[in-house]
Amino acid sequence: MPILLLYQAVYGKITASRTTLEKNDIQDIISISPLIEKICSKEEIKLLYETAKEKNCKELISCFEEMLKKKNQKS
């Protein structure tokens, strides 16, 4: 049985939108940001960050930037 990783689910939610993300989708992702930060690797978060940049979603860009800063401080 295939297992979907958390970052893959978030990535799918971001890329599924044609142009911009719905406000509900953004809020869903932000609400699980502590979980994303805890279990996703720096590389996975970087992929999510780059994807949010492609969609020009400022809320998610800043959210993922903050996660990356924290991951870099721990390294």
Q: Is the pLDDT of residue 1 over 60?
A: no
First to last CA, the chain: 34
Amino acid at 63: C
Give residue 31's pLDDT.
96
Question: 56 in the Ramachandran plot: left (φ > 0), alpha (ψ -120 to 50) or beta?
Answer: left
Residues 22/66/52/33 CA torsion (nearest 10 deg)? -50
Mean pLDDT confidence for 50-73: 95
So what's the pLDDT on residue 42? 95
Q: Model-level pTM? A: 0.89
Comparing C-alpha atoms, which of 69, 65, 36, 41 is closest to residue 53? 65
Q: What is the pLDDT of residues 33-55, one digit of tens each?
A: 999 999 999 999 999 999 999 99
Q: What is the mean pLDDT of residues 10-32?
A: 90
